[in-house]
Amino acid sequence: MTLFDNKVIVITGGTGSLGKVLTHRLLQKELGSPRKIIIFSRDEAKQHAMRVEYQHKSTATDEVIYDNFARLIEFRIGDIREYHSVCSVLRDADIVINAAALKQVPSCEYFPYEAVLTNVLGAENIIRAIREHKLSIETVVGVSTDKACKPVNAMGISKALQERLFIAANVTIPQTRFICVRYGNVLASRGSVIPLFHEQIKHGGPVTITIKEMTRFLLPLESAVDTIFAALEGAQPGEIYIPKIPAARIVDVAKAMMRDRNISIKYTGIRPGEKVHEILVSEEEAWRTYDRGNYYAIKPMLPELIKTDPGLQALSKEYSSGDFVMTSAETLALLTKHRLLIGQEDKTDGEFLR
């Protein structure tokens, strides 16, 4: 039996960019055949659009919802902030992938408590539901971000707390494995800089960039899903899985997308809560971070969860986007490969389930 055979998989925030690609990959059955995939989110319009796309309907009619609970993909309206909603959706789950999040840095900076409610209380609701109702869930995966590493903004702080909540839950709920994945900017996801650059270029510019020196890790959505699958297959309780991924200067991303168009660049300065370089592993975490092939695994600091890896060498320094910057040509090649340049066929939300 493989990883997902006969499993009920709940994806919180499942109508987002990651949730859609994750659902598509689960349907490919590359790691087994799930019994049920439950998409849990609070946006009925996005759920309806995803349901129609999954059923290959040419028109969006109300009838598609009536056999919702009999299908392989089941859609549940609910909010990760609401404990009773979380209890209900987790009742029969085997694997939970928590992709529900507030992730816009400026929004979280102006409304930090909203970030707490979704990113912190939401995680605690999952843990509390499992503990108080003695749910037989095998694994919970918390989807985190590079901004949780040495956080300087409300979004990163809330995600760092989510990581700690899930890690600590392994001590009090040992029958469930709680693990995390942490990665950088996902190419062309909602909220990434690439859709913004597309719109600015289509309208003749200017393209807005914070500062010339700014770098970011760049990760295709498929690689984000690969990281989740790798963690599900190999992570020990409390570990954080991190993909080995390239980074680029944001100005090189913009120039690659502009190509030879006569469009100006406007430098706007660093926004509140932003870093010049993002970090996936801090210097404090490096001494307990180990190589797992295409990934790094950060071991938990709690002594109850520490398992030594004899013979493995820990990292000697932090893992920063400033240290792994691609050349301009490499950045162009990456964007071309993933069809993210204007004139190429865009990956719109509706294509992920086809």
Which residues are designated catalytic?
A: 147
The terminus-to-terminus CA distance of the chain in angstroms comes to 27
CB 6 within 8 A of CB 90: no
Q: How far apart are CA 163 and CA 79, in angstroms?
A: 20
Residue 253, both tokens: 């991303």
Q: What angle do CA 116, 121, 124 make, to 5 degrees?
A: 145
Three-class SS state of 336: helix
295-298 and 240-243 strand pairing? antiparallel
The H or E element containing residue 73 is strand 73-77
| DSSP per-residue string spanning 130-155 | HHHTT----EEEEEEEGGGSS--SHH
Say if residues 128 and 85 touch (Cβ distance below 8 Å).
no
| Helix, strand, coil percent values for the chain (each to nearest 5) | 40, 20, 40
Query: Using H for helix, E for strand and C for coil, what is the string for 161-225?
Result: HHHHHHHHHHHHCCCCEEEEEEECEECCCCCCHHHHHHHHHHCCCCEEECCCCCEEEEECHHHHH
Instruction: Please give the C-alpha separations between residue 127 and each of 98, 117, 166, 173, 342, in angstroms, as whole numbers.
Output: 11, 14, 7, 8, 43
As a whole number of angstroms, the distance between CA 264 and CA 202 comes to 13
Please state whether beta strands 185-186 and 177-183 pair in parallel, antiparallel, or not at all (unpaired): unpaired
